Structure 1
Amino acid sequence: MTEASSVLADASVDPLALVSFPTEAALLADIEGRLRAGRGFAVATLNLDHIVKMRRSAGFRRAYAAHSHVVADGNPIVWLARLSGRPEVSLVPGSELIAPMAALAARVGVPLAFLGSTEPVLEAAAAALRADHPGLEVVACLAPPYGFDPESPAADALLDQVAASGARICLLALGAPKQEVLAARGIARHPGLGFLSIGAGLDFIAGHQTRAPVWVRKIAMEWLWRMLSNPRRLARRYLDCALVLPSLTAKAWATRKVRR
């Protein structure tokens, strides 16, 4: 059993222990080493919503446990990690990993694939990234149909298409838990591929969705900006996230005392 598997074997275990790469620089350095060695990877971006989902779903916990890299995506995760005695943990949002990953792919000479969202979004994002990163190859843009099941034979067929395209890195834009489940399935089926779950990141690049202004992100209020933009869909999600904070805070504080 891997360390991540041990952490997630029980829903009550602290999921903050999953954050395995504290900074973007550390993450990218390790991924570059894997790309040059022909090894695959799966990157998950931990936030409070994922913790809520993990508490409710053993399948989602298993998917997370299969990931080789986990970073902190969300200020509460960073704050809780630091409270637990890990001051090195910094914010690494999945949507902000797209540009550095594209730059790395162009420099190392490995092609990208996109899987998720819609074809117009994927094509627009590919064009924008090619313009920003000369030499970048985007060799597959695959948009699954509505109701796509990441554990179906159709999912396997898409993963095989990615592998056949020659891509070495696949950006998954399906949202949680679908993208993490598919990444876990993908790394098992094609160990030489790299998977990065980025949610709505490609929609931002394509201009299909508007991200919160920089000043809102700097004051750690992106969650509120998002909720007010779509309260019917997001209000309950953020309420559930708020409800897990007391227990996570208590656990982080207890971990800090043990570390001391």
Structure 2
Amino acid sequence: MQFRFGSMSIRVNMPDRATLMAEVGRRLASRQGFALATINLDHLVKLHRDPAFRTAYATQDLVVADGNPIVWLSRLARRPVSLVPGSDLVLPLARLAADGDTPVALLGSTPDALDAAARHLIAAVPGLRIACRLSPPMGFDPAGPQADALLAQVAASGAGLCFLALGAPRQEILAARGRSLAPGVGFASVGAGLDFLAGQQVRAPAWVRAIAMEWAWRMLSSPRRLVPRYAACAAILPGEVARALALRHGN
């Protein structure tokens, strides 16, 4: 499944979790870095509006479908992919890292949240090594010199996998920068994934996620912040449906 933005296209190239885990395992074993992005409707909105985000996304090595609308669009286009939420990837990726004795870095959120997430990960994943925990200050610029310093710390720590919990577009921009400044590190953009583990944010219950209503749960929990975001997502849906239908018919 691919999405076009002018002359640029972005493709969901990891169609399911099994394919993703096999590729990440191969890259971790060979110390081959990567950037992993989890595309959703909010990302599509930002990709249409933000050239810097598009440039960063174009460097992402692995892209999965994080959101049921992306899955539905892929089916409409007859290029089906499976749902692979970024928040659900933290523990499986940590287990892969532990199995290969690959140290992990945590970058983003707050110091307290990273400490709590690290405790949860160590308890849940025997043998996991946390190489470093880095929490950028407010106003952090993922394309500035402070980003370079953080990436140098990640590389110097010996981490082979780094979870980025900065939110879009900052985490994807930082991951793109990391591909050149720390080429042996795999950067996984997981949004609120670490905050969920830390208990800083409460995720929707499993039954809500099962009926594809997690968006409503989140919106009701933070309406001032999320109502405008989801309104923008709804506004682009007709155009994305039209593009999916064109893709279905080979246009």
Fold match by TM threshold 0.5: yes
- In the alignment, structure 1 residue 157 sits paired with structure 2 residue 149: yes
Cα displacement (A) at 1:75: 0.1
**1:129 is matched with which residue: 111, 114, 121?**
121
Q: Which residue does 1:253 correspond to in 2?
A: 245
Matches within 5 A, 1:28-67: 28-67=21-60
Q: Distance in 2 between matches of 1:171 and 1:240?
A: 27
Q: Distance in 2 between matches of 1:50 and 1:170?
A: 21
Q: How many residue pairs align between the two structures?
A: 250
Q: Cα RMSD over matched residues?
A: 1.4
Q: Which residue does 1:201 correspond to in 2?
A: 193
SS at match of 1:258: coil
- In the alignment, structure 1 residue 19 sits paired with structure 2 residue 12: yes
Cα displacement (A) at 1:13: 5.9
Cα displacement (A) at 1:164: 0.5
Ranges in structure 2 where 5+ consecutive residues have no aligned partner: none
Q: Distance in 1 between matches of 2:8 and 2:90?
A: 28
Supply the AA of the counterpart residue of 2:76: L
Change (3 A) 1:213 1:14: farther
SS at match of 2:162: strand
Q: Which residue does 1:108 correspond to in 2?
A: 100
Supply the AA of the counterpart residue of 1:203: D
Q: Which runs of 4+ in 1 moved over 6 A?
A: none
TM-score, structure 2 length as denominator? 0.97
Supply the AA of the counterpart residue of 2:32: R
Cα displacement (A) at 1:12: 3.6
- In the alignment, structure 1 residue 181 sits paired with structure 2 residue 173: yes
Do the aligned partners of 1:112 and 1:169 also contact (CA within 8 Å) in 2? yes
Q: Distance in 2 between matches of 1:19 and 1:247?
A: 18
Matches within 5 A, 1:230-245: 230-245=222-237
- In the alignment, structure 1 residue 147 sits paired with structure 2 residue 132: no
- In the alignment, structure 1 residue 72 sits paired with structure 2 residue 60: no
Supply the AA of the counterpart residue of 1:131: A
- In the alignment, structure 1 residue 85 sits paired with structure 2 residue 78: yes
Cα displacement (A) at 1:14: 8.1
SS at match of 2:187: strand
1:7-35 per-residue CA deviation (whole Å, 9 max, x = no partner) reads: 76xx34685x5101010110010111111
Q: Distance in 2 between matches of 1:228 and 1:123?
A: 28
Supply the AA of the counterpart residue of 1:199: G
**2:184 is matched with which residue: 185, 189, 192?**
192
TM-score, structure 1 length as denominator? 0.93
Of all paired residues, the percent bearing the same amino acid is 58
Cα displacement (A) at 1:86: 1.5
Ranges in structure 1 where 5+ consecutive residues have no aligned partner: none
Q: Distance in 2 between matches of 1:188 and 1:83?
A: 36
Change (3 A) 1:14 1:79: farther
